[in-house]
């Protein structure tokens, strides 16, 4: 028999009973109304009234009853604490992790008879966790810097403890015991969905055996709630950043020709471009062409927005006449990456093709770039740390990233 362990669970049960009783009274009232309205001259008046009530009850009252019950439970208690299928579906559709933090977290702590507990929720970056504390009926968010280390051995340990982990278990090492102490916890319950840890509950008391099954059931709902919250956020962000990328593409097509430029006698060919890369050409008033290649180490919604921001900054500087040399462009890109707090690795190549002399100047950051002559593909002509200057001869020059050809330069005035 299920244990009603809290006031919210009692409220949920009372709502279910009240709505069902109301449905019974409505059907009885419908029966009396049918008896009153049906002509007395026809036979089987009672049977027709009963049949009418059954049809209306199955196709009308039951769905309405489920809607009313779900609405009341979502108003007065959390959907995640309800065993009603309709309420659970409503919770999953809403992707409401706020309800999880506000309502379910205190109930989980009370279920273990603990006065203190901590809740860790996986953030949208799928790496870090937000921490919340509950003590003496007060709830607050913990500073993230004081939270759990995403690379902590504790997270790997509890991932394999679906029913919860207690302090002092034989397979615990010293570091994990220290994590238990730092969280002020004697029992930790993980929230696992599809073999991924979406959070955990750390409490001061070790729950009884008959309560751990209830905790495991709610932990599964919590994991699914956090997963759906992250998934819905990513979908919304992807739509937003896709729109930003489309706008950036329109700006690029409006300002510059999509085809690589012809600079004097130097023919430039764009050989490949992949998602997560920025490759643009900019013409100076003197007719020289600058080019920028930026490759971010990760490809996701945030990186797309970062590339759009860098692209907008470059075009704005170009229209204002601020692009004067490749060192200035390189510093501009680096400063803007710092401004948007980009901490991941990136590869950057900035170059210029002079119209009069046909010389190619190149600066780059990263170990994956290579500039070579087609006749000597094993010899790298560019080095990190200074400005490399080359003049294309009869054979084309190729700029590669990670062994993939990006751009080629060929002097058409010299016949091979």
Strand order in the sheet with 165-166: 138-142, 129-135, 116-122, 196-203, 187-193, 165-166
Per-block average pLDDT, block size 10, for the chain (416 residues)?
52 82 87 81 78 83 81 67 54 59 80 86 83 76 60 86 86 84 89 89 88 83 81 69 61 52 78 80 80 83 77 80 82 87 86 83 86 85 80 83 87 60
Q: DSSP code of 260?
A: P
Cα 325 versus chain centre, distance:
38
Angle between helix 326-339 and 301-319 (nearest 10)? 140
**Whole-angstrom Cα distance, residue 277 to residue 260?**
16
Strand order in the sheet with 266-270: 262-263, 266-270, 404-411, 397-401, 369-373
CA 100-105-110 angle, 5° bins: 145
In sequence order, the 6+-apart residues with CB closer than 8 A to the CB of 359 are 353, 389, 390, 391
**Which CATH code for domain 256-411?**
3.60.40.10
Are β-strands 266-270 and 277-283 bridged in parallel, bridged antiparallel, or unpaired? unpaired
Element (H, E) at 85: helix 85-94
Q: What is the dihedral of CA 94, 98, 99, 100, to 10 degrees?
A: 100
CATH topology of domain 97-233: Beta-Lactamase (3.30.450)
Assigned token pair, 173:
């090492």
Element (H, E) at 399: strand 397-401
Domain boundaries, the chain: 3-76, 97-233, 256-411
């Amino acid at each position: 028999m299920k244990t009603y362990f809290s006031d919210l669970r009692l409220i949920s049960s009372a709502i279910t009973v009240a709505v069902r009783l109301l449905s019974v009274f409505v059907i009885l009232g419908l029966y009396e109304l049918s008896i009153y309205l049906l002509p007395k001259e026809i036979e089987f008046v009672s049977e027709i009234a009963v049949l009418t009530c059954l049809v209306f009850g199955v196709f009308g009252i039951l769905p309405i009853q489920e809607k009313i019950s779900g609405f009341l439970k979502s108003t007065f208690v959390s959907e995640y604490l309800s065993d009603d299928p309709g309420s659970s579906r409503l919770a999953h559709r809403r992707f409401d992790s706020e309800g999880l933090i506000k309502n379910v977290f205190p109930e989980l702590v009370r279920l273990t008879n603990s006065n203190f507990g901590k809740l860790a929720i996986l953030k949208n970056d799928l790496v870090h966790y937000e921490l919340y504390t509950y003590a003496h009926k007060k709830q607050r968010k913990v500073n993230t810097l004081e939270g759990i280390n995403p690379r902590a051995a504790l997270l790997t340990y509890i991932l394999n403890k679906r029913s919860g982990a207690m302090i002092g278990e034989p397979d615990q090492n010293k570091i994990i015991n220290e994590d238990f102490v730092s969280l002020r916890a004697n029992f930790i319950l993980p929230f696992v969905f599809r073999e991924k840890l979406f959070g955990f509950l750390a409490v001061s008391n070790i729950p009884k055996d008959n309560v751990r099954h209830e905790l495991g059931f709610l932990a599964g709902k919590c994991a699914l709630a956090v997963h759906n919250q992250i998934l819905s956020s990513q979908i919304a962000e992807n739509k937003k950043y896709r729109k930003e990328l489309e706008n950036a593409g329109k700006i690029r097509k409006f300002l510059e020709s999509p085809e690589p430029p012809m600079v004097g006698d130097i023919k430039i060919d764009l050989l490949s471009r992949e998602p997560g890369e920025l490759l643009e050409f900019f013409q100076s008033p003197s007719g020289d062409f600058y080019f920028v290649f930026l490759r971010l180490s990760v490809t996701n919604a945030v990186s797309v927005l970062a590339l759009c921001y860098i692209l907008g900054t470059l075009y704005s500087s170009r229209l204002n006449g601020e692009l004067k040399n490749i060192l200035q462009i390189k510093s501009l890109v680096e400063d803007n990456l710092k401004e948007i707090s980009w901490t991941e690795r990136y590869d950057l190549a900035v170059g210029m093709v002079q119209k009069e002399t046909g010389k190619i100047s190149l600066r780059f950051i990263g170990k994956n770039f290579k500039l070579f002559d087609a006749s000597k593909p094993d010899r790298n002509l560019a080095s990190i740390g200074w400005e490399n200057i080359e003049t294309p001869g009869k054979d084309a020059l190729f700029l590669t990233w990670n062994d993939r050809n990006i751009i080629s330069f060929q002097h058409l005035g010299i016949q091979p």
